[in-house]
Amino acid sequence: MAGWDVHTHLIPPTVLAAAGSFGLSVDGDQLVVDGNERLPLRKLGDPAALLSWVDEQQLDGAVVSVPPALFRYELGVEWATLLNEGLRELAGPRLRVLGHLPLHHPAAAGVATSLAAEGVFSGFALGTAGFGALDEVWQVLDALEAFTLIHPGHSPDERLSAHYLSNLLGNPYETGLAAAELVFTDVPGRFPGIRFCLCHGGGVTAALAGRWQRGIDTARPGIEPPSLSVAEALRRFYVDDLVHDPAALTLLRATFGADRVLAGSDWPFPMGSDQVDSGRAQAGELLTRPLGGAAGQEVAEG
């Protein structure tokens, strides 16, 4: 056995049970979200299929987050509660789960505290929906040293509708935008305990690191210099290795550090990988152990 795949997806069973409400419906073998997004159920709705993947890859297990079409932050605490109920059902010795936060709701920090104290969740998954005014959430995640997966959501740029660019270009852009928000608001410097992990190799982040630093060095408008250089800040992130390009993987190692590149397959989506690197999978074991115990209780009581 050789570690953990930190980037896999399942639809929580409570979501399937809620079809007919929350803007959800089932059409054949697809879950329809808000009459628009369609998620295939064959594997996404089948934890046994993911466990078969774990066995095939000779892994200890997989870390599960909901597909980005289910982030739906506008639905607030009620939706987060539904997702987290289903994620609890999925959690087990070989499936670790990342909790869902009602990110822009005033209750988000409290939800993070409560989930962490349960000893079930291995961290949190956040969509790229804007990271302004979240210091209360960052404080909780910092105290927990929480593994925090940053996964891109759908880009609103309509020019990406052709050629599958909403995924091929939009997803890497959205992740880079989230990383930039964190770097330029000095989140890695102010909250060094958070173990952020950027999906898809951090998207465009590594390629733009030098440009971001140049903007700071030349005092471009609107930039308040963070406490860390861009290079220092990025060395506090983790990334998964899902880049489909050996040259890009070399850049990730140089930018984030070889020990910061984790195995992430994006199972079961077609843009994911077919083979998990066992060496990089080993690092995911310690990082994604369930939160809770003394640390979680301390935060919950504080």
> What would the pLDDT profile of 206-242 be if each residue is shown by its tens digit?
999 999 999 999 999 999 999 999 999 999 999 999 9
Does the pLDDT value for residue 273 go beyond 80?
A: yes
In this prediction the pTM is 0.95
Summarised one tens digit per residue, pLDDT across range 29-53 is 999 999 989 999 999 999 999 999 9
Residue 300 has pLDDT above 80, yes or no: no
Q: Which domains are present in the chain?
A: 4-12+46-288 (3.20.20.140)
Output b/e per residue, 155-176; b: 16+ Cβ within 10 A. Answer: beeeebeeeeebbebbbbbbbb
Average pLDDT value for residue range 57-78: 97
pLDDT value of position 2: 83
The first and second tokens of residue 29, run together, are: 């073998």
Place of tokens 């989506």: 269
Amino acid identity of residue 247, one-letter, is A
